[in-house]
Amino acid sequence: MWYPTVRRTLVCLSRLYRCVDRPIFQGLSQEALTMCIQSVASAAQAISNKKSPTDGELFQIKHLLILREQIAPFQVDFTIKEMSLDFSKVKTAAFGLLHKRKRLFSLGTNNALLEFLLEGTPTVREQLVDSRKEVDKQLKASCEAFIQHTTKTLAGPLLTFLDRGQVFVSMQTEVAGNVTLAQQPFAHADVIGKIVQETQRLIKNQLPIIQRSMQLYLANRETEFILFRPIKNNVVASFVQLQQLLAGGGYTSDDLLLAGCPSPEQVTVLLSSASLLGTNQVSNTTTTVVEEELHT
């Protein structure tokens, strides 16, 4: 099921495509797609507030993917030229006029009023607006927000510790002291062990829920895989970063055992096993609207 704004926008564009001249269609399509993107963003924000950020982000990703796919059949350039006035020079010239008040009525070439008129004239700016690129831009931003949010959901405690650890290491390098990371209360081996266990628990509990949501909204295994891959890489990289901190933090072999940091291979297995729990959701498929309209 598509969001009504998206469906109506695509149906409207598909019907106008053969009814109006191309320049007119370009202007109408650019405005319609811009408003549609804004509507989807507003709906996504409302969903995030009422349900969860994950649902809002996936809702936006789904419908931006639909928009990008459905405007592809249109054999038209979605780029239009917009004209605007740039008043930035007016402000600078006005300040100059205030400082040169004594020369307002000068009869020479250094007349302040004449300089203001010459230097403070607004300039005309041309800007090319491409609706297709705007859809891609918003889609990229939505995917990055989802990846970042999901990574924090799965590995939040570990990421927080890594930030504190990196701050200490940078300060230690500047001070050149003999104090090690292992001596810090927040970085004791038993504390790190609890952080690792909490992160593993979050992965086991939250990842199936996230993947079921991805199946519900995206309904495409390939898209789900592409979107989940950077999340998986981020989680594995966070454990690799923890290993590097432990290796250079003055920890003994007993401390390392107590911390219990898993290897990248073990983290990958953990993510894969947790992913299997979320793959039983039945996906719903969507039907196209634009191609049907174009062929009628």
Integer angstrom CA distances of residue 252 from 179, 197, 248, 256: 15, 20, 11, 6
Same domain, 223 and 269: yes
Q: Are residues 176 and 153 part of one domain?
A: yes
Q: Tens of pLDDT along the chain (296 residues)?
A: 899 999 999 999 999 888 888 888 888 888 899 899 999 999 999 999 999 999 999 999 999 999 999 988 887 666 655 556 666 676 666 666 666 666 656 655 666 666 666 666 666 676 666 778 889 999 999 999 999 999 999 999 999 999 999 998 888 766 656 788 888 899 999 999 999 999 999 999 999 999 999 999 998 999 999 999 999 999 999 999 999 999 988 899 999 999 999 999 999 999 998 877 655 443 333 334 444 444 44
Do 195 and 120 belong to one domain? no
CA 269 to chain centre: 27
Residue 287 and residue 267 in one domain:
yes
Of 128, 146, 161, the one marking the end of a domain is: 128
Domain count, the chain: 2
DSSP state of 84: E
- Of 66, 96, 128, the residue that ends a domain is 128
Which of 128, 162, 190 lies at the terminal end of a domain, its last residue?
A: 128
Q: Does residue 65 share a domain with residue 89? A: no
Same domain, 201 and 84: no
Helix, strand, or coil here: 260?
coil
| Angle of CA points 202, 204, 206, to nearest 5° | 55
**143 shares its domain with 61:** yes
Range of the domain at 229: 4-78+129-294
Residues 6 or more apart in contact with residue 222 via CB below 8 angstroms:
none
pLDDT at position 111 is: 67
Contact between residue 202 and residue 153 where contact means Cβ atoms under 8 Å apart? yes
d(CA 178, CA 162): 20
In DSSP notation, 144-183 reads HHHHHHHHHHHHHHHHHHHHHHHHHHHHHHHHT-S--GGG
Task: Give yes or no: residues 17 and 52 share one domain.
Answer: yes
Distance CA 186, CA 192 (A): 8
Question: Which pLDDT value is given to residue 159?
Answer: 96
Same domain as 176, residue 146 = yes
**Nearest Cα residue to 126 out of 79, 91, 77:** 79
Identify the pLDDT of residue 296.
Answer: 46
Do 137 and 193 lie in one domain? The reply is yes
pLDDT reported for residue 154: 95
The pLDDT, as a whole number, for residue 250 is: 87
Angle, helix 131-175 to helix 221-247, in steps of 10 degrees: 10
Query: Does one domain contain both 8 and 95?
Result: no
| One domain for residues 201 and 253 | yes
